[in-house]
């Protein structure tokens, strides 16, 4: 698993893709937080980072599939998956190695936004007047969301050998899991099914995490969905005849 992890990290860092993806994420978040009038923290009058945690998921929805789209699709297209499967590695070791590499890149994309925390903290009145505990909890929620998106992207990459199709599939699945259940629960004719359906979606749980409320139930939900997607990826890998 460690070998797979190192291989994926080196592959990304030796290509321009990782740097483009990270730059796009930071640029998009920076524009939302500091430039666009409707979302700029400079127009809020409050020292908080709600903009990051509100718009971050939608940026990650495109960022993560761009990271994961090649992980299994390219292996299959180039024929290296057959070689990989001949090594003394289990399917789970291959999947987890790639998953951890993808999540590490998501972490590297989010980590530089800490600069925004110190910038906003210095703008507080008095300086430092910012809810550090709440922001810390919100970062945990954003990272857990990135973890789910990574597992979804890896699953999408296992379905076919076309990176573009994997990218589009991952975006679609991320959107459905994130806010699709919320929209379905809003249908007026669902009755008692509305509440369970809403709670099945990521947005319901992320809403609390983005407010800095770290609840064990919500953390378990994020971990469970991630494990489920990894299990589905394992099923796809095991069922395919490479």
Decide: 110 and 143 in contact? Cβ < 8 Å.
yes
Decide: 176 and 199 in contact? Cβ < 8 Å.
no
Looking at residue 189, its pLDDT comes to: 64
Nearest C-alpha neighbor of 149 from the set 113, 202, 109, 200: 202
What is the three-class DSSP state of 187?
coil
What is the three-class DSSP state of 240?
coil
* DSSP class of 8: H
Q: Long-range CB contacts (< 8 A, 24+ apart) of 199-204?
A: 201/177, 202/145, 202/148, 202/177, 202/178, 203/178, 203/179
Looking at residue 188, its pLDDT comes to: 58
CB count within 10 Å of CB 25 equals 23
Phi-psi region of 191 (alpha: psi -120 to 50; beta: other; left: phi over 0): left
User: How far is it, in rounded angstroms, from Cα 165 to Cα 159?
Assistant: 9
Print pLDDT tens along the chain (242 aa).
777 888 888 877 787 877 888 888 888 888 888 888 777 777 766 667 888 888 889 999 999 998 888 888 877 777 666 666 666 678 888 889 999 999 999 998 899 999 888 888 887 667 666 778 888 888 999 999 999 999 999 999 988 888 899 999 999 999 999 988 777 777 656 666 767 777 888 888 888 887 777 888 899 999 999 999 999 999 988 876 54
């Amino acid at each position: 698993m460690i070998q797979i992890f190192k291989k994926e990290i080196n592959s990304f860092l030796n290509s321009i893709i990782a740097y483009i993806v990270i730059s796009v994420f930071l640029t998009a978040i920076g524009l939302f937080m500091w430039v666009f009038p409707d979302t700029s923290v400079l127009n809020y009058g409050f020292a908080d980072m709600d903009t990051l945690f509100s718009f971050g998921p939608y940026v990650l929805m495109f960022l993560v599939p761009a990271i994961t789209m090649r992980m299994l699709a390219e292996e299959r297209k180039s024929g290296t998956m057959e070689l990989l499967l001949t090594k003394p590695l289990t399917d789970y070791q291959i999947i987890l190695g790639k998953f951890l590499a993808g999540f590490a890149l998501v972490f590297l994309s989010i980590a530089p936004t800490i600069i925004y925390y110190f910038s906003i903290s210095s703008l507080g009145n008095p300086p430092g007047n910012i809810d550090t505990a709440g922001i810390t909890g919100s970062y945990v929620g954003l990272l857990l969301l990135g973890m789910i998106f990574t597992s979804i992207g890896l699953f999408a990459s296992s379905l076919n050998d076309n990176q573009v199709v994997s990218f589009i599939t991952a975006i679609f699945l991320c959107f459905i899991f994130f806010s699709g259940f919320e929209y379905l629960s809003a249908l007026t004719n669902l009755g008692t099914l509305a509440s369970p359906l809403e709670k099945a979606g990521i947005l319901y749980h992320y809403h609390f995490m983005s407010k800095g409320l770290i609840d064990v139930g919500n953390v378990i939900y994020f971990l469970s969905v991630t494990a489920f997607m990894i299990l589905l990826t394992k099923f796809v890998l095991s069922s395919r005849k490479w």
